[in-house]
Amino acid sequence: MAPLRWIIVTGVVYFLASGEIGILRAWIYIGVYAIGGLIIGIILLKKTPQLLNDRGKMQQGTKLFDKYMILIYFLFAIAVTPFVAGIDRRLNLSESLPFFCLYIGIILYIFSTIFSIWPMLHNPFFEGTIRIQSEKSHYVINTGPYKIVRHPGYLGMLLGSVSLPLAFGSVLAFIPLAIMIVLILIRTYYEDATLQKELTGYSEYCKDVKYKLIPFIW
């Protein structure tokens, strides 16, 4: 399952960069993330097996711009951010965040899983890349979390991204986090513009649900 592979890579990069293996806060976060990934995988396997399969590959019709965006984002998420956090710890480049920040990171991760799996249970078109799924008679989803914001999956990505430097305790890791946040905002805007232009009924849906990502803000 993809989330388990991601956290394994993240952990390996962090421990190699830090030069330590017995970092308690990192192991706790990795353990929580792994359990969350297993739960998500089991639920999706039972409830939406076809969607789980579709999300595991790059589908025909994916926007070229999005291919690069998602690649860069995951490079920062599973490699650059843990590397920076590990180097920060090894060289003491910044003061380590207090241990309680780990718990804040875990709470954010839990909310990120909610805003990742909830949309998938309502949206059969929740693939990993941006495209109009004509072969599935793509239509607008306006139930569940889609009553709150237009792109709840990206809200999940945002919360999960913020959890990383908090869990690893690295102030320096907020630098790649800032880049990840910018990528999420750009991708949200690009997908929203694409849907408004190419998906029938989406512009009307936008009049009812006014916020793209964060309620009352944007």
Q: Locate tokens 């809200």: which residue?
A: 155
Q: Mean pLDDT throughout 79-98?
A: 94
| The pLDDT of residue 89 is above 90 | yes
Chain-wide mean pLDDT for the chain?
A: 89
Query: Which one is predicted more confidently, 74 or 59?
Result: 74
- pLDDT (mean) for 151-161: 92
Q: Please give the average per-residue pLDDT across 36-56, as a whole number.
A: 79
**Model confidence at 51, in pLDDT bands (50, 70, 90)?**
confident
- pLDDT tens digits, 181-213: 999 999 999 999 989 999 989 999 999 999 999
pLDDT at residue 6 tops 70: yes
Residue ranges per structural domain of the chain: 2-208
Q: Which CATH number fits domain 2-208: 1.20.120.1630, 3.40.50.2000, 3.40.190.10, 1.10.10.10?
A: 1.20.120.1630
Confidence label for 61 from pLDDT (cuts 50, 70 and 90): low
Distances (CA, A) of 111 to 82, 106, 153: 21, 9, 11
Confidence band, pLDDT 50/70/90 cuts, at residue 18: very high
pLDDT digits (tens, 9 = 90+) for 69-87: 888 999 999 999 999 999 9
pLDDT value for 31:
94
Q: What is the pTM of this model?
A: 0.88
| 29-33, 49-53, 104-108: the lowest-pLDDT one | 49-53
Residue 193 phi/psi, 5-degree rounding, is -65, -40
What distance in Å separates the CA atoms of residue 37 and residue 20, rounded to the nearest whole number? Answer: 25
Task: Indicate whether 4 pLDDT > 90.
Answer: no
- pLDDT-based confidence at 57, cuts 50/70/90? low
